[in-house]
């Protein structure tokens, strides 16, 4: 989930919003301002309902953030690097850079999320009771009570034993602890995730078709997300199993064809003195042989025809700091997620600053095919 708006750092962890989080704000605001609040406490003006509903939606986002922050902080304490947190349409996602090292760590990282939501739910419930006793406006009490209920629902839903929910991670930690086999544990949690996902899709659509309940669409959407994510997680785990211990040097294309920084776009496209049809991306080198960046055919092709004789590779290339780089001794397993996120889907292989190769996702999937063919022959 890409970050659209950065909120800076909280407890040292990068926090951002994806634009789709507006869907949550809108849904919560409509449900409260157009339904719940005027039904329970009629007689106020519309703007009071809407202002309170929007405020409640923002507090709700903050409680989602607290849930994800709890995951992130505990992950970091357990030696797992955290890339950041993004809030989006279906809640929050803490992006962990590496996997939990032990079943115990996995359990702690997963459990603290629903626990935080449950505690938040309890605190809001207590606050609602207290405000009610103080005879504060019933509207406000209603909003706080709604926050209590939604946080408890979130705690319970997230604790369901199905990947990629927190409960799925707990299930995986348990299976991993029992069998000592992380891959098998992941398969089990993923199967449970797909089962729950299909259940939600079917019941969601049934609610829409037979009961005319439109919120079934939301359940179906979340179910679909569970199916897709659980499947991807299992595939990623299989990949990890196959690529375990394989260094980048075994997968990369060594000594790639490079282009000089000073070469113009016109020359690159027209009469490049290299075997250009075999490749679509080229490292750009400086006159002294250092690596400056990466160009792709796609990038050069965007240079307008009239500017091609004056635009050089140095002008249009992605400069080195923006390009994924790796070392020949790095593990391919760790590179895959970075490549999948990267724009060019390839990395330059540098050995002490010197260019020794280039590696693409296509190279890696070819190697995966080879390795699976070798270890699992067709019978």
* Residues noted as catalytic: 68
**Which residues in 4-23 contact Zn ion (CB under 5 A)?**
none
Nearest to 93 by CA among 85, 104, 101: 85
2-6 contacts, C-beta under 8 A, 24 or more apart: 2/86, 3/84, 3/86
Query: Contact region for Zn ion (CB under 5 A) — 36-44, 53-61, 165-173, 349-357?
Result: 165-173
**Which residues in 252-291 contact Zn ion (CB under 5 A)?**
none
Q: CB within 8 A of 322, min separation 6: which ones?
A: 293
Query: Contact region for Zn ion (CB under 5 A) — 112-120, 173-181, 247-255, 338-346?
Result: 112-120
Alpha-carbon torsion angle 227, 233, 239, 245, nearest 10: -170
Exposure letters 74-106 (e unless 16+ CB within 10 A, then b): bbbebebebebbbbbbbbbbbbbeeebeebebb
Between 113 and 293, whose beta carbon lies closer to Zn ion? Answer: 113
CB of 108 to Zn ion, least distance (A): 13
Contacting Zn ion (CB under 5 A), which of 106, 166, 233, 363? Answer: 166
Query: Contact region for Zn ion (CB under 5 A) — 41-49, 144-152, 159-167, 238-246?
Result: 159-167
Instruction: State how far Cα 233 lies from the chain centre.
Output: 11
Between 166 and 363, whose beta carbon lies closer to Zn ion? Answer: 166
CB of 186 to Zn ion, least distance (A): 17
Q: Are 349 and 355 in contact (CB under 8 A)?
A: yes
Q: Are 222 and 200 in contact (CB under 8 A)?
A: yes
The H or E element spanning position 121 is helix 103-133
Contacting Zn ion (CB under 5 A), which of 16, 113, 193, 283? Answer: 113
User: By Cβ distance, which residue is nearest to Zn ion?
Assistant: 113
Between 114 and 283, whose beta carbon lies closer to Zn ion? Answer: 114
Query: Contact region for Zn ion (CB under 5 A) — 75-83, 111-119, 262-270, 355-363?
Result: 111-119
Between 113 and 161, whose beta carbon lies closer to Zn ion? Answer: 113
Query: Contact region for Zn ion (CB under 5 A) — 2-10, 149-157, 158-166, 356-364?
Result: 158-166
3-state SS assignment for residue 305: helix
3-state SS assignment for residue 15: strand
Per-residue binding letters, 68-107, with Zn ion (x by CB under 5 A): ----------------------------------------
CA angle 242–247–250, rounded 5-degree value = 95
Beta strands in 89-214 (DSSP E): 91-96
CB of 237 to Zn ion, least distance (A): 19
CB of 335 to Zn ion, least distance (A): 27
Query: Can you tell me the distance from the alpha carbon of 195 to that of 179, in angstroms, rounded to the nearest whole number?
Result: 22
What number of other Cβ atoms are within 10 A of residue 243's Cβ? 21
Between 112 and 313, whose beta carbon lies closer to Zn ion? Answer: 112
Q: Give the count of residues interacting with Zn ion (CB under 5 A).
A: 2
The answer to whether the peptide bond before residue 164 is cis (omega within 30 degrees of 0) is: yes
Between 17 and 37, whose beta carbon lies closer to Zn ion? Answer: 17
Between 3 and 166, whose beta carbon lies closer to Zn ion? Answer: 166
User: Is 363 among the residues that bind Zn ion (CB under 5 A)?
Assistant: no
CB of 166 to Zn ion, least distance (A): 4
Q: Are 247 and 334 in contact (CB under 8 A)?
A: no
| Phi then psi dihedrals of residue 268, to 5 deg | -60, -45
CB of 232 to Zn ion, least distance (A): 17
362 burial via Cβ count (<10 Å: 0-12, 13-18, 19+): exposed
**Which residues in 45-64 contact Zn ion (CB under 5 A)?**
none
CB of 107 to Zn ion, least distance (A): 13
Two tokens, residue 74: 């505990």
* Interface residues toward Zn ion, by CB under 5 A: 113, 166
């Amino acid at each position: 989930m890409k970050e659209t708006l950065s909120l800076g750092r909280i407890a040292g962890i990068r926090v951002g919003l994806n634009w789709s989080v507006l869907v949550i704000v809108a849904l919560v605001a409509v449900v409260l301002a157009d339904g719940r609040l005027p039904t329970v406490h009629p007689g106020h003006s519309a703007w009071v309902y809407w202002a309170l509903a929007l405020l409640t939606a923002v507090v709700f986002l903050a409680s989602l953030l607290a849930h994800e922050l709890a995951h992130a902080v505990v992950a970091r304490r357990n030696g797992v690097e955290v890339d950041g947190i993004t809030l989006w349409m279906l809640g929050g996602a803490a992006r962990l850079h590496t996997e939990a090292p032990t079943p115990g760590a996995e359990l702690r990282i997963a459990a603290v999320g629903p626990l935080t939501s449950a505690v938040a739910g309890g605190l809001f419930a207590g606050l609602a009771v207290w405000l009610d006793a103080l005879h504060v406006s019933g509207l406000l009490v209603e909003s706080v009570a709604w926050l209590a209920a939604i946080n408890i629902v979130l705690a319970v839903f997230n604790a369901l034993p199905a990947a990629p929910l927190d409960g799925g991670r707990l299930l995986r930690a348990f299976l991993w602890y029992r069998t000592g086999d992380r891959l098998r544990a992941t398969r089990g949690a993923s199967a449970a995730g797909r089962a729950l996902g299909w259940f939600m899709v079917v019941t969601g659509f049934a609610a829409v078709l037979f009961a005319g309940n439109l919120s079934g669409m939301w359940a179906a959407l979340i179910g679909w997300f569970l199916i897709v994510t659980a499947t991807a997680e299992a595939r990623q785990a299989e990949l990890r199993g196959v690529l375990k211990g394989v260094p980048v040097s075994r997968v990369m294309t060594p000594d790639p064809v490079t282009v000089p920084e000073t070469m113009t776009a016109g020359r690159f496209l027209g009469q490049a003195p290299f075997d250009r049809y075999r490749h679509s991306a080229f490292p750009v080198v400086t006159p002294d042989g250092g690596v400056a960046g990466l160009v792709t055919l796609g990038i050069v092709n965007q240079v307008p025809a009239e500017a091609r004789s004056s635009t050089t590779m140095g002008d249009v290339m992605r400069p080195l700091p923006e390009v994924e780089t790796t070392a020949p001794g790095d593990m391919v397993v760790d590179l895959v997620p970075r490549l999948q996120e990267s724009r060019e889907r390839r990395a330059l292989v540098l050995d002490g600053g010197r260019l020794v190769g280039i590696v693409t996702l296509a190279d890696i999937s070819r190697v995966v095919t080879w390795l699976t063919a070798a270890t699992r022959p067709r019978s």
